[in-house]
């Protein structure tokens, strides 16, 4: 009830078109919409990205890929997390591509019977040291996979470790390693395969990493991968508005009350009223994605004014100091309309961004938006 996300799909499409403008015409664009499209809504964002010219979609679970197929998304989909052989059969039947992340995985998949051709992308380790084949294992993995006539090696990919920190020296070492991996795979007789390494950061800053496909996630939602990336890129003529945030998160005041001087507020009595004050309760807590780390330090926007979060953020409620709105009349939402409470977004001349929240809780904007649960209504404009 009056707690919802507003998702601007026109801005999402503009972000995609801007990112695509950095690519050569023949370079494909994979829109990463895993984890409920970073909290923005899987199917609706996929449909908008499809219209904006995304060639591929990236997800992390087979269930996400199946949801897209059921919604009529017919373009290629790549699952970015390891897929077991039982699920790989279903992926093949739905023309969903999967990664091969180790020699053991290559063995397992190569020994699986498929009714349809399974397309695979070899994930190669180049300097992140997460999952992935070593370069010296690519040849053996490819030979194993080619023993199964219903497996096609469709791509080779890797992932950068530190472009978000503008550490381009390490990124260039990884590019060199990736080029070695390409040659190894080509030496097995594999040809015309997709080569992809760049996420949003590298798409912005490293044209030499684009190869013939890029994978953009956070940028399509109008969020910068890091402050460092934003500062570096926004010094270019394209400017700060190259990426525009897609999401707003708002709620309402469900109760307004007065507390007297000296009264304690919230669990643990972590806040004490220094004077008589008006407080408001909002029906959003850490279950709804308002991080507990915002206790006694976060803010929301009401009528264009920043109002502090006081006391501890509860599971489903938070307490707001309304003192800065002195002079305005308030009443219970049962008696009259409550002013909107903006958690992420603009109100008047003020704005609270996912980056502002991330800075307060010692995290990143990815986490702030992705952790907003799917049960919160999303309104698409």
Which helix (H) or strand (E) segment holds residue 249: the answer is strand 247-252
Active site residue 233: no
The residues with which 300 forms a beta bridge, in sequence order, are 307
Quick count: other Cβ atoms within 10 Å of Cβ 159?
Answer: 22
Structure token digits, residue 115? 């009714």
Minimal CA–CA distance to 381: which of 288, 247, 252, 250? 247
User: Cα–Cα distance between 303 and 341 in angstroms, integer?
Assistant: 8
Of 172, 183, 267, 276, which one is the catalytic site residue? Answer: 267
Which helix (H) or strand (E) segment holds residue 145: the answer is helix 138-146
Of 11, 14, 34, 119, which one is the catalytic site residue? Answer: 34
CA distances from 117 to 55, 93, 111, 148 (A): 20, 8, 14, 10
Active site residue 257: no
User: Cα–Cα distance between 328 and 216 in angstroms, integer?
Assistant: 44
Are 279 and 319 contacting, i.e. CB atoms less than 8 angstroms apart? yes
118-123 vs 151-157, strand pairing mode: parallel
299-302 vs 96-100, strand pairing mode: unpaired
CA diameter of the chain: 78
User: Cα–Cα distance between 157 and 362 in angstroms, integer?
Assistant: 30
Q: Which residues contact residue 212 at a Cβ distance below 8 angstroms, ignoring those fewer than 6 apart? A: 26, 27, 28, 194, 195, 196
Which helix (H) or strand (E) segment holds residue 68: the answer is helix 62-70
Q: Which of the 8 DSSP states describes residue 112?
A: S
Per DSSP (E only), the strands in 73-228 are 77-79, 96-100, 118-123, 151-157, 194-196, 213-216
- Enumerate the active-site residues: 34, 267
């Amino acid at each position: 009830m009056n707690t919802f996300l507003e998702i601007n799909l026109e801005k999402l499409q503009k972000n995609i078109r801007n990112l695509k403008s950095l690519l050569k015409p023949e370079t494909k664009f994979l829109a990463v919409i895993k984890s409920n499209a970073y909290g923005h809504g899987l199917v609706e964002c996929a449909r908008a990205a499809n219209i904006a010219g995304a060639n591929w979609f990236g997800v992390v679970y087979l269930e996400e890929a199946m949801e897209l197929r059921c919604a009529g998304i017919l373009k290629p989909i790549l699952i970015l997390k390891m897929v077991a052989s039982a699920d790989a059969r279903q992926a093949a039947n739905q023309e969903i591509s999967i990664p091969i992340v180790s020699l053991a995985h290559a063995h397992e998949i190569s020994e699986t019977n498929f009714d349809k051709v399974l397309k695979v992308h070899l994930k190669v380790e180049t300097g992140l040291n997460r999952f992935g084949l070593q370069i010296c294992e690519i040849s053996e993995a490819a030979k194993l996979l080619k023993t199964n006539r219903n497996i096609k090696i469709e791509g080779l990919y890797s992932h950068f470790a530190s472009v978000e920190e503008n550490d381009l020296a390490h990124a260039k070492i990884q590019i060199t390693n990736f080029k070695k991996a390409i040659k190894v795979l080509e030496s097995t007789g594999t040809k015309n395969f997709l080569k992809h390494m760049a996420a949003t950061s590298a798409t912005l800053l490293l044209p030499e990493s684009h190869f013939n496909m890029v994978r953009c996630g956070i940028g399509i939602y109008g969020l910068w991968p890091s402050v460092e990336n934003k500062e570096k890129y926004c010094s270019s003529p394209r400017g700060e508005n190259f990426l525009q945030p897609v999401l707003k998160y708002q709620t309402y005041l469900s109760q307004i009350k007065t507390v007297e001087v000296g009264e304690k507020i919230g669990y643990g009595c972590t806040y004490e009223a220094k004077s008589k004050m008006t407080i408001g309760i909002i029906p959003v807590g850490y279950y709804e994605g308002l991080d507990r780390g915002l206790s006694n330090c976060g803010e929301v926007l009401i009528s264009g004014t920043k109002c502090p979060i006081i006391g501890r953020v509860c599971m489903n409620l938070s307490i707001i100091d309304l003192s800065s709105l002195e002079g305005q009349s308030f009443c219970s939402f049962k008696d009259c309309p409550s002013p909107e409470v903006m958690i992420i977004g603009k109100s008047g001349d003020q704005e609270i961004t996912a980056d502002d929240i991330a800075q307060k809780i010692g995290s990143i904007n990815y986490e702030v938006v992705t952790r907003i649960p799917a049960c919160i209504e999303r309104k698409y404009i």
